[in-house]
Amino acid sequence: MIACWTTRLPAQDYPLEYPCYSLETAPHLDGKLDDAAWRAVPESSGFLVLSTDKRAVKATIFKAGWTGKALYIAVRCREESPAEMRAGQADGGAVYLDDSIEMLFNRPAVRSEIYRQLVMNSNGARCNLLNGTPVPNWPWEVKTVVGAAEWSLEARIPFASFGATAPQKNTWWLVNIARNITTGDPEEHYTCWPPLKAGFADIQNFGRFVFLRETPGPDSYRRFLADAVRKETGPLRKNRSFLLKGLAIPRSKPEAVRLLEIATRSEGLLTRSDVPIADLECFVEQNKRLGALAGELRSLVQMESLFE
């Protein structure tokens, strides 16, 4: 019975996911992010200092959506010293040396080792890299605006730039949205959306853009997050007897206690319709390593069972 229970526990950690909704109309690109097309699109933030679990002080927020022809991404970058930003690179140059945003994409269904990298600075200069090697710019566009305490951008990336057509429903791409910062604390020079460990091209730790056919509504993002909670914790909630067995083993008790707490908390979140979205986001983010913890418990319980 132990083997039966453990095979239903999470086998791996769940990657960070963003719901990329279909847009009824394409945004007008001017870099301002005030277009009606963005209004119901969820935003994602919580950027980390590269290779750490530390939240970046200078906030970066993005939104994304798609039409049948292109992917649209909007980014807002907090910056208290815009006059000090580096923006000297021209179109096609080493734009990543400036204050800039990098967008890296991997389509694992096509080639798991290939990634395309789009970089844009605060002046709207662009450059492309394929697996880290500079290549001529693909046919995508970006508009930027620099304000008193932030700079922002809107990008339109035709799927043809990826050698692709519009994604199928519920398919996903691996994505990294990252930021280069030349002002302020040097420790925050590189920040990123997913928890990367080995540079911006750390594909195995990229987040996911999940392409949804539905257009975003007032409660769409809440439902998406609730589904993520169910996916992450379902095996734990269904197999409490296994967790209770872990409690009886001294070496596995800490892991069992934590997993039971997570299962109980998830039940509380899923039975309420008024849970703040921030609480759901926090829960999903904090439990991305749930698979590793469950794996540790599984190993300890299985080892103990050999001596029963």
The tens digit of pLDDT for each residue in 167-194 reads 988 899 999 999 999 999 999 999 999 9
pLDDT, tens digit (0-9, with 9 covering 90-100), for 192-229: 999 999 999 999 999 999 999 999 887 888 888 888 88
What pLDDT is recorded for position 302?
Answer: 64
What value does the mean pLDDT of the chain take? 86
The bridge status of strand 141-146 relative to strand 48-49 is: unpaired
Residue tagged 């913890």 (tokens): 293
Q: Which residue has the higher pLDDT, 301 or 78?
A: 78
From 32-46, 143-157, 232-246, the region with the lowest mean pLDDT: 232-246
Residue 272, token pair as written in the block: 């309420």
CATH node for 24-212 = 2.60.40.1190
Q: Which long-range contacts (CB under 8 A, 24 or more apart) does 221-225 make?
A: 221/19, 221/42, 221/277, 222/275, 222/277, 222/280, 224/19, 224/42, 225/277, 225/280, 225/281, 225/284
What pLDDT is recorded for position 11?
Answer: 32
Q: Which residue has the higher pLDDT, 53 or 137?
A: 137
Q: Which residue has the higher pLDDT, 307 or 147?
A: 147
Within 8 A by CB and 6+ apart from 185, the residues are 57
Task: Give the span between the Cα atoms of 152 and 242, in whole angstroms.
Answer: 49
What pLDDT is recorded for position 108?
Answer: 81
Select from 235, 5, 126, 108 the least CA-distant residue to 117: 126
Local structure of 135: helix, strand or coil: strand
pLDDT of residue 69 exceeding 70:
yes
Select from 156, 127, 169, 139 the least CA-distant residue to 65: 156
Delimit the CATH 2.60.40.1190 region(s) of the chain.
24-212
pLDDT of residue 282 exceeding 80:
no
Task: Give the span between the Cα atoms of 105 and 174, in whole angstroms.
Answer: 6
What pLDDT is recorded for position 24?
Answer: 93
Task: Give the span between the Cα atoms of 29 and 38, in whole angstroms.
Answer: 11
E strand intervals along the chain: 17-22, 48-49, 60-66, 70-78, 100-106, 116-121, 126-130, 133-135, 141-146, 150-158, 172-180, 190-192, 207-212
Task: Give the span between the Cα atoms of 94 and 134, in whole angstroms.
Answer: 9
What pLDDT is recorded for position 267?
Answer: 83
pLDDT, tens digit (0-9, with 9 covering 90-100), for 82-115: 999 999 999 999 999 999 999 999 998 776 779 9
